[in-house]
Amino acid sequence: MVQEQRLQIEIFDTTLRDGAQTEGISFSCEDKIRIARRLDRFGIALIEAGWPGSNPKDAEFFHRSQGIDWKNSQIVAFGATRRKGLAAADDENLQRLVEVNTSVCTLVGKTWTLHVDDVLRVSRDENLRMIEESISFLQSHGRRIIFDAEHFFDGYAADSVYALEALQAAVRGGADTLTLCDTNGGSLPWIVEDVVARVVEACGVRIGIHCHNDGELAVANSMAAVRGGARHLQGTINGLGERCGNTNLCSVIPNLQLKMGYHCVADEAIVDLFDLAHYAAEVANVALDEQRAYVGKSAFAHKGGIHVAAMRRNATSYQHIEPELVGNKMRVVVSELSGRGNLHSKVEELGLTIDDGVQVDEVLGRIKAKEAEGFAFEAAEASIVLMLARESKGYKAPFSAIEHTVFVENRSVGVRSQAMVKLDVAGQIYHTAGEAIGPVEALDIALRAALLPRFSALENVSLVDYKVRILDAKHSTRAITRVLIDSHYGEKTWSTVGASSNVIEASWMALLDSYEYGLTQVISLLGDKNEKLSVVEEVRA
């Protein structure tokens, strides 16, 4: 479809303003700059960066943003209509909007009589004047004005005549876009579509939509609004926002562009959606829900054996789009629910080869048996690779564990742990010790002490995450404990798993797998020439 033939939807990102109201999130000015730059690169038309009249942090952002060469985006400043009984030119918040010198401003105003009467406590005519005069003041300073009609759908349901009068006041003031806000997030899609269509017919200017997700319908309501004629859409990356969040741009953009034929961002940009979602989550210091549509790592992950068997014949049988369109990828999960196809697909996905002598059914049987014991291989692909590798002809582990001992003592200086390990490394016995506050760290230190003399490349391997989960709490201190360890070398990260009623033993299993995988599957492939030779020679010795 030729881009010029598609209807354009103006995307307005409010991650840095509405998204910043998410409980537990506090963006620094530098955070806002970083996210805004990434949104600009992605091709978002309008980036609402904050309320310059509300706090110094937002004021600093607008000051710094003026020195940045924005390629695709316009920075938008947010504010509210003037206070009652005050001329627009005398309102400090409106003055701040002029001072920050953005070409676009958003003004929020009341359209629901309940808010006019009980919250603002002004006459309804005064509210209309507040809207018109505030917009006119900013428009006289050369600003493009987007009017956010707060609580519009509730207001329209209560008094449609007055709600439309508020919009007309905004038009008289010079607003070129009227954004209908489902501020309480309780509207339904068919109502939204019908109301938007009525407003489009009545107002004669661009109509926008701003939905909250309190009914889990923000994306559906936004799409319904577009069907009703809205051509301006507001939302946030990953659906951040107060209470239950806002319209998730990472879902609504691909829905509109890939499935409904609208143009939101450049076709070549949408493949960066996966990276954008994860980048924004990282800067916000929140964990992305990996089951998010389109951008979650589980969005195209397949676990059921029947599903995977079908997909090995036709990839579209259990996927609604090609994941690569949004920068994601298909994954196969191996677990107790898996069939042979899962294991074969996992091997292909990881770029591995299986010797003809490897009995896939036996490996799959062991996986299922271990999961019954408490292991979980969905998030520990490295442990799966090792199970397959150990069945291959000619495979020789770089080391084997003989025994380990851990002591935990409460000394005068506090709790300390000591670990001793005995390893067979290429036929040579190493007996080493480690000391730390925690027993797992002590084990790790002792293990590395035994391996580093033969595998110096391990110096650059680090353990970046350690997760413990109690599987059957009803057994109290005898409960099965699952340990997941994430390890890192260069740009490669891998995960391993252990499970036992003894948390130290579970950790030891995961540690051993982590270093064996690192030596045989990562360093020998990614290390420099000397590291490759040293590892390969030791493994083959």
Q: What is the pLDDT of residues 272-281, one digit of tens each?
A: 999 999 899 9
Please say if the pLDDT value at position 488 is more than 50. yes
Residue where the block lists tokens 């600003």: 143
Residue 393 has phi, psi (to 5 degrees) of -65, 140
Q: Which helix (H) or strand (E) holds 400?
A: strand 400-411
**Whether the Cβ atoms of residue 305 and residue 336 lie closer than 8 Å to each other:** no
What DSSP string runs through 30-99?
HHHHHHHHHHHHHT-SEEEEE-TTT-HHHHHHHHHHTTS--SS-EEEEEEEPPPTTS-GGG-HHHHHHHH
Average pLDDT, the chain: 85
> Residue 35 and residue 37: Cα distance in Å, rounded?
5
Please say if the pLDDT value at position 84 is more than 70. yes
Of the candidates 194, 198, 204, 137, the one whose C-alpha atom is nearest the C-alpha of residue 168 is: 204
Please say if the pLDDT value at position 39 is more than 50. yes
Dihedral angle sign, alpha carbons of residues 347, 348, 349, 353: positive
Name the band, by pLDDT with cuts 50, 70 and 90, for residue 541.
Answer: very low
Q: Report the range of poorest mean pLDDT among 160-174, 270-284, 521-535.
A: 521-535
Give the pLDDT confidence of 91-138 residue by residue, as tens digits.
Answer: 999 999 999 999 999 999 999 999 999 999 999 999 999 999 999 999
Question: Looking at residues 408-423, what average pLDDT do you find?
Answer: 87
> Residue 208 and residue 177: Cα distance in Å, rounded?
7
Please say if the pLDDT value at position 468 is more than 50. yes
Look at the chain and count its residues.
541
Q: Residue 324's CB: how many other CB atoms inside 10 A?
A: 12
Q: What pLDDT sits at residue 142?
A: 95
> Residue 220 and residue 192: Cα distance in Å, rounded?
10
Please say if the pLDDT value at position 83 is more than 60. yes
Q: What pLDDT sits at residue 185?
A: 97
Secondary structure of residue 526 in the 3-state scheme: helix
Neighbour-count burial for 443-463, b at 16+ CB within 10 Å, e otherwise: bbbbbbbbbeebbebbeebeb
- Point out which residues pair with 482 in neighbouring strands: 469, 499
Q: What pLDDT sits at residue 397?
A: 85
Give the pLDDT confidence of 279-302 residue by residue, as tens digits.
Answer: 999 889 888 888 899 998 777 776
Of the candidates 288, 277, 289, 272, the one whose C-alpha atom is nearest the C-alpha of residue 327 is: 272
Q: What pLDDT sits at residue 433?
A: 95
Q: Which helix (H) or strand (E) holds 383?
A: helix 381-389
Tokens, residue 106:
């958003």
Name the band, by pLDDT with cuts 50, 70 and 90, for residue 376.
Answer: low
> Residue 493 and residue 507: Cα distance in Å, rounded?
18
Q: What pLDDT sits at residue 356?
A: 47
Domains and CATH numbers, the chain: 3-267 (3.20.20.70), 301-389 (no CATH), 400-540 (3.30.160.270)
> Residue 120 and residue 162: Cα distance in Å, rounded?
15
Tokens, residue 310:
């079908």
Residue 210 has phi, psi (to 5 degrees) of -140, 110
Give the pLDDT confidence of 326-369 residue by residue, as tens digits.
Answer: 998 776 655 444 444 455 555 555 454 555 445 555 656 666 66
**Whether the Cβ atoms of residue 514 and residue 485 lie closer than 8 Å to each other:** yes
Please say if the pLDDT value at position 215 is more than 60. yes
C-alpha distances in Å from residue 483, one per residue of 388, 462, 494, 498: 21, 17, 14, 5
> Residue 273 and residue 280: Cα distance in Å, rounded?
11
For 159: left if phi > 0, alpha if psi spans -120 to 50, otherwise beta; the answer is: beta
Provide the whole-model pTM: 0.70
More confident call, 316 vs 493: 493
Sheet (strand 481-489) strand order: 462-470, 481-489, 492-500
Contacts of 282 (CB under 8 A, 6+ apart): none
R_g over Cα of the chain: 29
Q: What pLDDT sits at residue 336?
A: 42
What's the number of CA atoms in the CB half-sphere (13 Å) around residue 356? Answer: 0
Name the band, by pLDDT with cuts 50, 70 and 90, for residue 254.
Answer: very high
Question: Looking at residues 74-88, what average pLDDT do you find?
Answer: 95
Strands 74-80 and 414-425: unpaired
- 236 DSSP 8-state letter: B
Please say if the pLDDT value at position 78 is more than 60. yes
Q: What pLDDT sits at residue 44?
A: 98
Question: Looking at residues 240-249, what average pLDDT do you find?
Answer: 96
Sheet (strand 414-425) strand order: 400-411, 414-425, 428-436
Name the band, by pLDDT with cuts 50, 70 and 90, for residue 219.
Answer: very high
What's the number of CA atoms in the CB half-sphere (13 Å) around residue 327? Answer: 18
